[in-house]
Structures are given as C-alpha cells and as structure tokens.
Amino acid sequence: MCGIVGLFLKSRMLEPQLGAMLSQMLGVMTDRGPDSAGFAVYGAGDGSHIKLTLRSNLGNDIDTIADEISADIGGPLASSKRGSHIVLTTPKSIEQKVRDWLAANRADVRVVGAGSRMELYKEVGLPSDVAERFALKDMAGTHGIGHTRMATESAVTTDGAHPFSTGVDQCLVHNGSLSNHNGVRRNLQRDGLTFQTENDTEVAAAYLTWRLRQGMDLNTALEACLSDLDGFYTFVVGTESGFAVLRDPIACKPAVMAETDDYVAFGTEYRALVGLPGVEQARVFEPEPAKVYVWERH
Amino acid sequence: MSTVDLANTPLRELNAALHKLNGQTNDTHWEVRNPLGKHAVAVGVDAPVTIEIDGHVGYYCGGMNKQARIVIDGNAGVGVGENMMSGEIHIKGDASQAAGATGRGGLLIIDGNASARCGISMKGIDILVKGSIGPMSAFMAQAGNLVVLGDAGEALGDSIYEARLFVRGKVKSLGADCIEKTPTAEERDMLAAILKRGGCESISPDEFRLYGSARKLYNFHIDNVSSY
Amino acid sequence: MTAPVGLPRTTPRFSSTFDTYSISEIQRAAATGIYDIRGGGAKRKVPHFDDLLFLGASISRYPLEGYREKCGTNVVLGSRFAKKPIEIKIPVTIAGMSFGALSGPAKEALGRGASAMGTTTTTGDGGMTPEEREHSQTLVYQVLPSRYGMNPDDLRKADAIEVVVGQGAKPGGGGMLLGQKITERVAGMRTLPPGIDQRSACRHPDWTGPDDLEIKIEELREITDWEKPIYVKVGASRPYYDTALSVKAGADVVVLDGMQGGTAATQEVFIENVGLPILSAIRPAVQALQDLGMHRKVQLIVSGGIRNGADVAKALALGADAVAIGTAALIALGDNDPRLEDEYRKLGTTAGAYDDWHEGRDPAGITTQDEALASRLDPVIAGRKLANYLAVLTLEAQTIARACGKSHVHNLEPEDLVALTVESAAMAQVPLAGTNWIPGKPQF
C-alpha cells in the first residue's frame, strides 16, 4: 500500500530538472507510505557500459569497493556515491566478472539495479528523508519513477522497498495487493528466475522481465499481466526507453496522470502533480482499468 | 466573510470553526485558500453557508455535507461529497473516483469529468456531471439521479436498485441488471429540474437516455446465476 | 451382496465423508439451485479456549481473597487519539448486530443489559435506531461497506465509531438480509424496496487498502472533531498484518472476530471454511501490537465463541484488552430456549440447533421482524437476563484472575496458561501442560 510517482519527459529542456521534480512529487506522497521509499532515474549512460547500483544490506562500508574490485580484476571502474548506495560504472565486457567478484567477496552487497542508464536507490525511512539522503533533487534524466511504501504483508526492510529491478534497465513500482503471486513466483523459479524477498511486487517485476526475455515488447508483456496476475494493482514500469502504466480490471487503487507536450506524469493522488510546470493546462486523466499505457523515447 | 488560509491554519481549526456554525449564524460566507490537495476539507458541515475553496482538494471534500453550498475551484480527489445529506457541492474541475459515494441528498455538480465509480451506492443524491464519467459508475446505486452530459464508461449501473441514470452521450457498456428504460413524464421533469439547478437549462431532457434496474436480481433465481 | 436368508449381514455404516449432513445438503442444493444460507458462526469443532487451562496459585504464587482484595475489571478504550475515550466497567462488550437482523425489542434488551453493567453495545448493518441510542448508555456506531443509514448526526450521537472491514463468520463477505426481513421500516432505513433480498457490497465504496483507510479514518475524525475512539474491525484472517495495518491506518482500537463469531445470514460454506478460530488469531494480533510498541495503547477487543468467564479470562491472558459477545448475548436473551422446542420442531429444527435466522421466523422474537413474534420478547426482562449473564462472566473472570494472584484482569498473561493439545499450544503459544514445550518455538 503506497504512493507512486512517475515522470517521463518529452522535452529535453526539462532533463536537468527531472530529479527536482520527482523529489517534490515523492515528498507529497509521504503520508501514504511512511515506511520506506525508493526511486529509479534514467540518466546518462552509453551502450558499452553498465551502471550497477550497489548497497550493503548489512550497512557495511562500500565506499572503496570500486578500487578493491579494480585491484583484483582490472579497471578502472568509475564509481559515484549517493547516500548509502554506490553506482559502479563497469564496461559491459567485464560486468559478469564484477558480479562474480561481489558474490565471492562481498556477499552483503546487493546489486539493487543494473542498467545502461538506470540508477536505483531505496531505503527505509520517510520519503523526503530518503530523497534527501540520495540527493534526488540534483539528478538529471529522461524519466524516473518513485515509490513510498506502507508495508502490508511483509516486513519493513530495504529489500522490500520499491522499485524492484529484475532486469537490465527495468524497474517496477506497485500500489495494491496481488492475490496469486506465490503461485506465479513458483512458476518463474522453475524457469530460473531468483527472488530476494517474499514481496508480491518483486513477483510482478520478475514476471515482466520474464516476458521481455521471451521477446515480447513492453506493451505485449503488460497485456500478459492482465491474464496472469490476479489481485488489485497499479504498476508503473520503467525500461531504458519506455515508461508504462497498467491498472487491473477492477481499478480500486487510485491513479492520476497529467500529460503536456513536455511530459507525462503519474501520481497516486492528484496533489503529487500539482507542482509540475504547466499542470494547469495539462490533460489530466485517470488511466482506464485493464488498459496498457506506454510512452517510448525515440 | 471569513477567510482561512490552509497554508497557515491547521485543517482541524477550519473544520472545528465550520462545525460551530448553525442555521442562525451570520458567518455565511467562507473562503478557503491554499487547500493544496488536503483531505477532509469542509467535512461534516451542517449549516446553510457558502464555502468557496480556492484550489485542488484531496479525498472526501465536503464529506457528509448538510445544507452548505461548497464550491471547489479546482479538482477534487476520491470520494468528494461522500454520503452528502443535503446542500450543494460544485466542482469546477474534475473529480476522482467514487464522487458522491453513498450520497443521500443534495446536489453534486461536476463541471469537468468524474472518474470511476461515480455515484457508487448512491442513496438519494442528485449528481450532475457536465463531462464524462468513468467505469463502474452507479454501482449498486439505490436511489437518486445521476445525470451525465458526456459519456459513461464500462459497466454502468452494475447491480443497480432504484436510482435513475440519465446519459446524453455514449455508454460503453451496461452492468448486471441495468437496462435502458423509457422515461415517464415525471422522470423527464425530474431531469429538467436537475439540469436547471446545474445551469444547463439550454439542454433538452430529450437528448438523454434513461438507464435503470431490470429488477431481476431483487430475489435470488437460479436462472440468474450467470450474473453473479 | 444378497445373502441367503438366515446368514449374518454387516451393520449399516455411515460414511464419515458423506455423513447425513453432507448428504442432506447435496440433496437440498440439487432441489433448489441455491447455496444454503444460515445465521450463527462456525459450528464445527476447532481448537478453542477449552483447550487451555490456568495455572492457579500454588506455593510460588499467592491468590487474592474475594471481595476486599479487589480485582479490577475496567477498560479504557480509545486512549490513543480520541478526546473522549470510553471507559467500560467490565471487559465484555456487545458486538455489532443490526436492527433488521434483530428485532427492535432485542436491540432494546441488549442496550438495557449492557447499560446496567456499564458496557457498550454496537449498531450493525442497518444503522442506528433512536431506541438503540436511547437504551444504550454507550453506543458504538458501525461504518460498513453498505453505508445503510449512514449520516453525520448519528455519527456524532455515537460514543465510538467502528469501521468494519470484515467479520469472523465471513471475512471478505458483505452483509446479507433476505426479503422476509426487509419490512417497511428496515427498508426505509436501508433505502431499499421492501421485500427484496438485500445484496451487499463486500468492499467499502470509497476506499480500499490501508493507505486509503488511513485517509478515511482521518475524515471520520474530522467530522466528529476527534472526540470519538475509532475502532477497526476485521475477521480473523491474517491477524498479524491486519492488526499492524489497522494501527498504521490510525485506529484507536482493533476488533478481531474469529470464525466462531456469528452472522445474521450468510452462506454456510463461508462460515465453516473461511477465517481462523479466534484462539489462533489472538497471539499474532498481540505480537503485532507489541512489535509496534502499541500493546495497551491501541486496545484489542476479541470475539468469536466467548461463552463464559473462563473464555474471557483466557482471551485477556493472551493479551486482549476486552472481549465482545454476540451469539452468547442472544442466547442470554432467550435464543434457542428449550422451552420453545415445539416451535423449533415446527420449523424443522430443535432447540440448540436453530440457525435459520435469515428466515425471520424466530419463535423467541429475537432474529425476526415479524411484529407478533417480536412482541414475545419483553425487553425489560431480557435486558435483566443479559445483565445477569454479563455479571456472571465478570465474576467468573475475576474468580480466575484472583486465583492467579491478579488485582486486575489485565494482569493475566500468557504464562498463566497451559494447553491440553499440541494444536492449541501452537496456536496460543503456551506450553503443553506439564512440559515447557511450545510447538514452533525454540526450547528455553
């Protein structure tokens, strides 16, 4: 149970302000989700590198991890620190080596997200504090999604916070409650996917990754959600070039969108959108139940 | 005229002040500034006063309103006018889900669009939407009138009891036990009166179609099993 | 096989699976095409308070004398946020039951009895009647998915507000009242045509989920100027999470109703197969409160199969602040009275088994809207009987508490209990009698 915010920029001019806009939207959703918060931003990147967002789930130091890895497997690896997370930019050619090194030497370090442009940050705490710790307001990018969480059937932990990323440049946030996620998880596990949590949202993220891996495009994969996932859900999804929204057929959980020539925005409540430039003239609408909405960058 | 700025004044103070009003008050005109999407603004009012809210409100604005005339110069969140008893609520922008939910009386006017579940479980309220309404509107609607100048979304009037639904535009689909009906002269007059109260007298009642209960689900029948 | 005359035959044997009840139900379903509807709670045997025993005073623990050495029973409800919390004199309240499900005289009797003993009654799925408000000194007003009769005046007349998410008999189900009980008066209160079968929503119309429940509770507080305690009632299903989320949504009190909790009417299969026995739900709910640092700050009222003062004491020992009774209160008023046996026979049932409350033909005049039948219940006498019963529940609980050395029933704790079976030990998280083994917990 939660608050979701999402922003997809159509206008390049707004890119430097993406983080500031998202940060403001996220703060407004604090009441709905005081337990934890997280966000993913699609910023700078290139095709030959992968950005791995890392976090220690025991709260251990990871500041020098880039140097430690380079010392062992070569480098240099660029790293930037935000709060308790580090983004390690690694050449794609040695990505697997980096992952293997982490698994062998730092089992406490989670790869929270991986992408050519996606960085993902999440933590326990009030949304505005979390945004502050990660300096979201200074981040630039083309699109981003954020989430504030009130945990329902699982504990309040950073692992349980959204967004969930189960694929490269993919992330998903969710407001609602799935009802058949345990069965879906078992099926996905049989097909080789692994899970870190008992969370229903992680199942939804993995399901989409699975469908995309099978070659479906984002639109078709989300259509498949409608047949395979049961319960009440509003999903906001990010991929490298895409931003998507899907509500279940009953659509009890609230969702509001605003679209202008410059951006498409999503908020669980309208008041999350109120600070956006030009929102007074925006087309404001509530997404239809069981309808896939996708925006792609060209 | 009393002005309350919610940027400086706690919501609790506004509602407490409004609750002190009664039929004898001289304080009949209120202006509320900077609602900034707050929830429960002007709820539980029971006095013949006018309250003008300058901006967007969150959930349940005007909840359980009695007698007051509330004007929202902006959009309204979930459940605006929920369980309204009497009076009038006028939204100049759009309304989110469950507008007028379980409303028992009074008039709810929405200049823009209402989204899903408009008039859900309504129990006597009159709702006038000048734009369109979303899916699953008038679900289990028991009494009152829902008037829509635009279109209606899927499953209109599912499981409806005795409420009347007048739609001028297209209805995407009808819910269980909801059928089109021919309005009686009395029903036509009822519609005309609502249009007039909402400032739409130029629109003819004949442009609307009436939807209501087929009454087949009033007592359980094995033959209706597929409806459940 | 057909034996030749004179040889022994095997004894006719009933199937445990296709027992007489199951066979009759299949035949009834085949004849009517509709599910069986009845009132009451789960009738099948499930682990319950009978499986727990108290450890009375011994050499290491000393008892209290009766009378002079007080054993307090009062409970404050709503201390978290309400300006006017409620104090009840006994740790037993009357659960929500609607006018519609019950007759007017029955509701009056409940009010009289509860008020005489300094405790509360609760409205139900039809709204508040003036008689109910008049006869109940302290009245809890339910906010249900149907919102039948909901209005701000009654909200303000109430002493507390109970947002009903569900009840133990049918977690996930809505109210049900059949045509024979939808009289003119009931129909008027519920804005329904008289004589129809009431369909009820199972979800609230204007909120779903704890994040939106929080906003709804805020609205109710604002309407009532933060005066009244707000309860959240759930059927026992996922008690740990439901309790935690109710607290997070801003509840003052959590009401937890087990599967033995009664309903006026719902499908038999729903009652018997959905929801948890109350015994298994209390400890997770208390654990949630303790994990949030809210035990005794957000009060827990449990219901579902409370019959005697030992049940009350056990519920409190497991961590509840109070209990609610529904079925037991009706029995105290006269429901299922053996003196009406002839009438029960005419209805095809027998005293002690009568549960067709939805038909509205109750010979005791309690679960009926028929004026002639309802007039059989004298609300003053019935109220007295309820007061007597409530007094006995309280005295019994005090007796047990004193024997355990407690000067207030709230000082009863899980360590005062042991269990007779492995299941009840695991569910109540108390050791098997004579051992220090709690199934599922590491040995200490």
pLDDT at C2: 64
Put simply, the answer to whether B143 touches C224 (Cβ < 8 Å) is: no
The CATH code of the domain that includes A82 is 3.30.70.2040
CA distance B194 to C367: 42
Among A87, A116, A145, residue at a domain's last position: A116
B92 occurs within a structural domain: no
Q: Does residue A67 sit in the same domain as residue A88?
A: yes
Q: Shortest Cα distance from A271 to chain B (angstroms)?
A: 5
Predicted complex ipTM: 0.95
| Mutation to test the A interface, candidates C202, C203, C206, C211, most A Cβ within 10 Å | C211
Residue of C nearest to B117 (CA): C205
Are C224 and C134 in contact, with CB atoms under 8 Å apart?
Answer: no
Q: Shortest Cα distance from C266 to chain A (angstroms)?
A: 23
CB neighbours of C13 closer than 8 A, spacing ≥ 6? none
Neighbours of chain B (3+ CB pairs under 8 A): A, C
Q: Does residue A201 sit in the same domain as residue A261?
A: yes
Are C157 and C226 in contact, with CB atoms under 8 Å apart?
Answer: no
CA distance B19 to C204: 26
Per-residue pLDDT of chain A (298 residues; tens, 9 = 90+): 689 999 999 999 999 999 999 999 998 888 777 788 999 999 999 889 999 999 998 888 898 899 999 999 887 789 999 999 999 999 999 999 999 999 999 999 999 999 999 999 999 888 999 999 999 999 999 999 999 988 766 667 888 889 999 999 999 999 999 999 999 999 999 999 999 899 999 999 999 999 999 999 999 999 999 999 999 999 999 999 999 999 999 999 999 999 999 999 999 999 899 899 999 899 999 999 999 999 998 7
Q: What are phi and psi of C43, to 5 degrees?
A: -100, -20
Per-residue b/e over C310-340, b at no fewer than 16 CB within 10 Å?
bbbbbbbbbbbbbbbbbbbbbbbbbbbbeeb
pLDDT at A29: 85
Told to judge if A2 belongs to the known catalytic residues of this protein, a careful annotator would answer yes
| Mutation to test the A interface, candidates B41, B53, B56, B129, most A Cβ within 10 Å | B56
CA distance C385 to C127: 25
Put simply, the answer to whether A274 touches B135 (Cβ < 8 Å) is: no
DSSP B197-214: HTT-TTS-GGG-EEEEE-
B30 occurs within a structural domain: yes
B180 occurs within a structural domain: yes
Structural domain boundaries enclosing B23: 1-87
The pair of structure tokens assigned to C71 is 């054993």
Q: Shortest Cα distance from A127 to chain C (angstroms)?
A: 15
Put simply, the answer to whether B37 touches A270 (Cβ < 8 Å) is: yes
Q: Does residue A58 sit in the same domain as residue A108?
A: yes
Put simply, the answer to whether A270 touches B78 (Cβ < 8 Å) is: no
Q: Does residue B80 sit in the same domain as residue B119?
A: no
Interface of A with C (CB under 8 A): 1-3, 31-33, 150, 152-153, 175-177, 232, 252-254
B55 occurs within a structural domain: yes
Q: Does residue A89 sit in the same domain as residue A133?
A: no
Among B29, B52, B87, residue at a domain's last position: B87
| pLDDT tens track for C109-138 | 999 999 999 999 999 998 999 989 999 999
Q: Which of C374, C302, C282 is nearest to C52 (CA)?
A: C282
Q: What is the mean pLDDT of residues C351-378?
A: 95
- Please tell me which residue, A29 or C220, carries the higher pLDDT value: C220
Chain A residues inside the 8 Å CB shell of C238: 153
Q: Which of B11, B80, B65 is nearest to C155 (CA)?
A: B65
Q: What are phi and psi of B194, to 5 degrees?
A: -65, -40
The pair of structure tokens assigned to A85 is 């997370």
Put simply, the answer to whether C223 touches B117 (Cβ < 8 Å) is: no
- Interface residue C36 vs chain B (CB under 8 A): no
Q: Does residue A109 sit in the same domain as residue A133?
A: no
| pLDDT tens track for B111-134 | 999 999 999 999 999 999 999 999
Put simply, the answer to whether C222 touches B117 (Cβ < 8 Å) is: no
Q: Does residue A86 sit in the same domain as residue A216?
A: no
Please state, rounded to an integer, the average pLDDT across all residues of chain B.
Answer: 96
Interface of B with A (CB under 8 A): 36-38, 56, 58-59, 75, 77-78, 94, 96-97, 113, 115-116, 134-136, 153-154
Please state, rounded to an integer, the average pLDDT across all residues of chain C.
Answer: 95
Classify C20 as helix, strand or coil. Answer: helix
Q: Does residue A62 sit in the same domain as residue A15?
A: no
Q: Which of A60, A40, A53, A37 is nearest to A133 (CA)?
A: A37
The pair of structure tokens assigned to C109 is 């009797």
Percent over 90 (pLDDT), chain C? 91
Chain B residues inside the 8 Å CB shell of A271: 36-38, 56, 58, 77
pLDDT at C386: 98
Among A59, A89, A116, residue at a domain's last position: A116
B106 occurs within a structural domain: no
| pLDDT tens track for C25-43 | 999 999 999 899 999 999 9
Q: Does residue A199 sit in the same domain as residue A134?
A: yes
Residue C277 φ/ψ region, left for φ over 0, alpha for ψ in the -120 to 50 degree band, beta for the rest: beta
Residue of A nearest to C214 (CA): A32
Angle CA B33–B34–B38, to nearest 5: 115
Asked, as a colleague might, if the bond just before A249 is cis with ω within 30 of 0, I would say no
- Measured between CB atoms, which of C203, C238, C248 is closest to A150? C248
Q: Does residue B64 sit in the same domain as residue B139?
A: no
CA distance A48 to C265: 66
Give the DSSP letter of residue A269.
S
pLDDT at C443: 58
Cβ-based contacts under 8 A for chains B and C: 107
The pair of structure tokens assigned to C146 is 């149907």
pTM of the model: 0.93
- CB within 8 Å of chain A, chain C residues 322-361: none
Give the DSSP letter of residue A169.
T
Among B35, B70, B87, residue at a domain's last position: B87
Q: What is the mean pLDDT of residues C37-59?
A: 96
Are C414 and C430 in contact, with CB atoms under 8 Å apart?
Answer: yes
CA distance C106 to C108: 5
Residue of C nearest to B64 (CA): C152
Q: Does residue A148 sit in the same domain as residue A112?
A: no
Q: Does residue A239 sit in the same domain as residue A265?
A: yes
Q: Shortest Cα distance from A32 to chain C (angstroms)?
A: 5
B97 occurs within a structural domain: no
Chain C residues inside the 8 Å CB shell of A2: 211
Q: Shortest Cα distance from B48 to chain A (angstroms)?
A: 29
Q: What is the mean pLDDT of residues C65-81?
A: 92
Q: Does residue A94 sit in the same domain as residue A187?
A: no
CA distance C169 to A245: 37
- Model confidence at C444, pLDDT cuts 50, 70, 90, reads very low
Edge-to-edge strand list for the sheet holding A293-296: A164-167, A170-178, A231-238, A242-247, A293-296
Q: Does residue B80 sit in the same domain as residue B130?
A: no
How many domains does chain B divide into?
2
Neighbours of chain C (3+ CB pairs under 8 A): A, B
Radius of gyration of chain C from its Cα atoms, rounded to whole angstroms: 23
- Interface residue C185 vs chain B (CB under 8 A): no
- Measured between CB atoms, which of B36, B113, B134 is closest to A271? B36
N-terminal to C-terminal alpha carbon distance within chain B: 53
Put simply, the answer to whether B56 touches A271 (Cβ < 8 Å) is: yes
What ranges make up the beta strands (E) of A125-205?
Answer: 143-149, 164-167, 170-178
Owner of token pair 């005046």? C153
Among A81, A116, A151, residue at a domain's last position: A116
Per-residue b/e over B18-39, b at no fewer than 16 CB within 10 Å?
bbebeeeeeeeebebbebbbbb
Residue of C nearest to B96 (CA): C206
The pair of structure tokens assigned to C244 is 């935690």
Q: How far is CA C326 from CA C97, C110, C394, in A?
A: 7, 10, 16
Q: Shortest Cα distance from C290 to chain A (angstroms)?
A: 15
Q: Does residue B59 sit in the same domain as residue B117?
A: no
Structural domain boundaries enclosing A80: 47-116
Are C367 and C286 in contact, with CB atoms under 8 Å apart?
Answer: no
Among B72, B87, B102, residue at a domain's last position: B87
Q: How many other C-beta atoms are found inside a 10 Å radius of the C-beta of residue C137? A: 16
Q: What is the mean pLDDT of residues C309-333?
A: 98
The yes-or-no verdict on residue C296 having pLDDT over 70 is yes
- Interface residue C89 vs chain A (CB under 8 A): no
Put simply, the answer to whether C241 touches A232 (Cβ < 8 Å) is: no
pLDDT at B13: 98
Residue of A nearest to C209 (CA): A1
Q: Does residue B41 sit in the same domain as residue B119?
A: no
Q: How far is CA C282 from CA C76, C210, C439, in A?
A: 19, 20, 16
pLDDT at A1: 63
Put simply, the answer to whether A286 touches B97 (Cβ < 8 Å) is: yes
B27 occurs within a structural domain: yes
Q: How many other C-beta atoms are found inside a 10 Å radius of the C-beta of residue B134? A: 26
CA distance A286 to B117: 12
Q: Does residue A37 sit in the same domain as residue A64?
A: no
| Mutation to test the B interface, candidates A253, A286, A291, most B Cβ within 10 Å | A286
Alpha helix ranges (H) inside chain A: 18-28, 65-73, 95-105, 127-133, 181-190, 200-213, 218-228
The CATH code of the domain that includes A141 is 3.60.20.10
CA distance B46 to B31: 17
The yes-or-no verdict on residue C103 having pLDDT over 50 is yes
Strand partners for C387: none
The pair of structure tokens assigned to C385 is 């009987």
Are A282 and A260 in contact, with CB atoms under 8 Å apart?
Answer: yes
Residue of C nearest to B10 (CA): C222
Q: How many other C-beta atoms are found inside a 10 Å radius of the C-beta of residue B182? A: 8
Neighbours of chain A (3+ CB pairs under 8 A): B, C
Q: Does residue B120 sit in the same domain as residue B80?
A: no
CA distance C142 to C222: 17
How many domains does chain A divide into?
2
Grouped pLDDT means (10 residues each) for chain B, 228 residues: 96 98 93 95 98 97 98 97 98 97 98 97 98 97 98 97 98 97 97 97 97 92 70
Residue A227 φ/ψ region, left for φ over 0, alpha for ψ in the -120 to 50 degree band, beta for the rest: alpha
Question: Counting every residue, how long is chain B?
Answer: 228
Q: Does residue B8 sit in the same domain as residue B79?
A: yes
Q: Does residue B68 sit in the same domain as residue B128?
A: no
Question: Among residues A2, A171, A225, A252, which one is catalytic?
Answer: A2
Q: Pseudo-torsion of CA A265, A266, A269, A272, nearest 10°?
A: -40
